[in-house]
C-alpha cells in the first residue's frame, strides 16, 4: 500500500497538497432551511490573498470535521469505527485542509460556478484537493452533501433552537444490497440527488440576483472568524456558464442533472458509475460538451459501453490515467494511502491528481475560462510532459 507519508521521510504532513493557482482558496459551509428539504454545501472560492498559505494555518480546518463522519465511513465500509480512526491516525494524523475557512471572497471578477456531486459514501470534504485547486484559479465550487442516504454522513437542524445547541438530526448512510430492486433504488437516489443539484443551481442564480438566504450554520456556536458574506457574490457569479461535475455516483448524477436543466453548459465526469441511469434515455441525448476523466481499474465492460454512447458528437473528450484506482480522484489517497488493487503498481498520487486537474483546466479553458487567470500554456506544458501517463479515447474495461 502506498502511504501518504512515504515521500516525506515518515514525517507527518499536517495538510493535504496545497493549491497552485494565483489566489489562496477559501471555503465556507452553507446550509439552508430548518428541515431536510433544504441543502448543505461547502463553497470553495478564491480569496483576495496571494501569498504563502502556510502563513494562515490558524484558518485551516480539519479534513474530517468530527467523529460522526468517522462513524459514517465505518457504515460505508462495514468496519468497526475504531479501525477507521486507527487508519487515519496511523497514515496521516490530524490532517487539515489548506484553505482559509470563512475568508472574504475575491469578487474583482465574475466567478465561474461549478456544482459538484459526490460519490457513494462520500461527502462535502472528500474532494478538497480538486476543489481547492479550482478555487485558487478563480472558480466558485459548490460541493453538495447529499441527503438521499448516499453520503457517508450528513445532518440538518429542525429549528433555530436546535442549531444554537448544535442538536443535529442525522441522515445516515444507507447500504443497499445487490438484487432485483438495486437499480430502482439507486435510480430513485439519482432523482433525489439531481433535485438537490437543481436547488443549488437555483440558489446560485438567486444569489447573483440579490436573493441571499440566511445560512442556518450562523446559529451554530463557533470560535472561527467568519468574514465571508454571501452578498459579496451578488452580480459576481457568471450564471450564463455553469458547469456540472461529479465523481462516480456523482458522475451519473451530473449527467442526469445536465439532461434536466439547460443552465448547465458543460459537464466534468470523474469515473462515472453509469448503472443508476442506464434506462434514462434523455441522459444519452444531451448535447453539452463533456469530459470523462477515468482511472484505469474502475470500469467494467457495461460501464464502458454506456460511456461510449456519449462520444458520438463534438465537444466530447475521454481520458484514462494509467496505473490509477477509483480513489485517486478523492482525498483519501493523501489521508489513508492506497487501499484498492493492492498488487498493482500505482502512480504517485500527487502526479495523478495533477494530471487529473490539468485535464480539467484544459477543458474549462475551452468552455468556461476563468476570469482570474489564464493557465492555457501551463496546461499544455504539463500535459505534454506527462503525455505517457494518460490515454485519450475510450477507456478499456478492467474486468
β-strands 242-247, 264-270 pairing: parallel
Torsion of CA 201, 118, 109, 374, to 10 degrees: -130
User: Count H helices, E strands: the chain?
Assistant: 10, 14
Buried b (16+ CB within 10 A) or exposed e, 35-73: eeebbbbbbbbbbebeeebeebeebbbebbeeeebbbbb
> Residue 3 burial (CB < 10 Å; 0-12/13-18/19+)?
middle
Q: How many angstroms separate the CA atoms of 120 and 127, rounded?
A: 13
C-alpha distance from residue 297 to each of 6, 248, 324, 342 (Å): 23, 13, 7, 12
C-alpha cell at 61: 480546518
Strand partners, 391: 320
> Residue 278 burial (CB < 10 Å; 0-12/13-18/19+)?
middle
Concatenate the DSSP letters of all residues of 97-122 into one string: E-SEETPPB--SSPBEEEEEE--TT-
Helix, coil or strand: residue 132: helix
DSSP state of 13: P
Q: Is the dihedral of CA 330, 340, 154, 263 positive or negative?
A: positive
C-alpha cell at 396: 478499456
Query: Angle at CA 198, nearest 5°, toward 139 and 192?
Result: 125
Query: Angle at CA 337, nearest 5°, toward 334 and 340?
Result: 125
Taking the chain, what is the end-to-end CA distance rounded to the nearest angstrom? 21
What residues are labeled active site? 248, 271, 326
Amino acid at each position: 500500500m502506498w502511504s501518504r507519508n512515504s515521500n516525506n521521510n515518515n514525517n507527518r504532513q499536517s495538510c493535504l497538497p496545497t493549491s497552485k493557482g494565483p489566489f489562496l482558496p477559501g471555503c465556507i459551509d452553507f446550509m439552508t432551511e430548518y428541515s431536510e428539504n433544504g441543502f448543505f454545501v461547502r463553497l470553495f472560492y478564491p480569496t483576495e490573498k496571494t501569498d504563502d498559505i502556510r502563513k494562515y494555518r490558524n484558518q485551516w480546518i480539519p479534513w474530517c470535521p468530527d467523529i460522526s463522519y468517522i462513524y459514517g465511513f465505518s457504515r460505508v465500509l462495514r468496519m468497526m469505527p475504531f479501525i477507521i480512526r486507527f487508519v487515519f491516525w496511523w497514515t496521516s494524523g490530524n490532517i487539515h485542509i489548506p484553505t482559509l475557512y470563512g475568508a472574504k471572497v475575491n469578487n474583482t471578477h465574475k466567478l465561474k460556478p461549478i456544482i459538484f456531486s459526490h460519490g457513494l459514501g462520500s461527502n462535502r470534504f472528500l474532494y478538497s484537493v480538486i476543489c481547492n485547486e479550482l478555487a485558487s484559479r478563480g472558480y466558485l465550487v459548490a460541493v453538495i452533501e447529499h441527503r438521499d442516504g448516499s453520503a457517508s454522513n450528513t445532518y440538518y437542524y429542525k429549528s433555530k433552537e436546535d442549531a444554537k445547541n448544535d442538536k443535529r438530526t442525522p441522515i445516515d448512510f444507507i447500504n443497499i444490497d445487490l438484487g432485483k430492486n438495486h437499480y430502482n433504488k439507486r435510480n430513485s437516489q439519482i432523482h433525489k440527488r439531481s433535485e438537490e443539484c437543481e436547488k443549488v443551481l437555483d440558489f446560485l442564480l438567486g444569489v447573483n440576483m440579490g436573493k441571499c438566504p440566511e445560512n442556518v450554520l450562523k446559529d451554530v456556536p463557533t470560535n472561527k472568524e467568519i468574514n465571508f458574506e454571501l452578498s459579496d457574490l451578488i452580480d459576481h457569479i457568471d450564471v450564463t456558464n455553469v458547469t456540472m461535475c461529479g465523481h462516480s455516483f456523482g458522475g451519473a448524477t451530473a449527467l442526469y442533472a445536465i439532461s434536466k436543466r439547460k443552465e448547465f453548459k458543460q459537464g466534468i465526469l470523474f469515473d462515472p458509475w453509469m448503472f443508476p441511469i442506464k434506462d434514462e434515455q434523455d441522459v444519452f441525448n444531451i448535447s453539452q460538451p463533456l469530459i470523462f476523466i477515468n482511472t484505469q481499474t474502475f470500469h467494467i465492460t457495461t460501464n464502458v459501453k454506456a460511456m461510449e454512447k456519449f462520444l458520438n458528437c463534438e465537444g466530447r473528450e475521454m481520458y484514462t490515467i494509467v496505473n490509477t484506482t477509483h480513489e485517486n480522484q478523492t482525498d483519501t489517497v493523501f489521508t489513508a494511502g492506497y487501499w484498492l488493487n493492492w498488487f498493482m503498481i500505482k502512480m504517485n498520487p500527487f502526479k495523478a491528481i495533477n494530471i487529473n486537474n490539468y485535464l480539467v483546466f484544459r477543458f474549462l479553458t475551452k468552455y468556461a475560462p476563468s476570469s482570474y487567470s489564464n493557465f492555457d500554456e501551463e496546461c499544455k506544458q504539463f500535459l505534454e510532459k506527462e503525455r505517457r501517463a494518460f490515454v485519450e479515447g475510450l477507456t478499456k474495461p478492467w474486468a
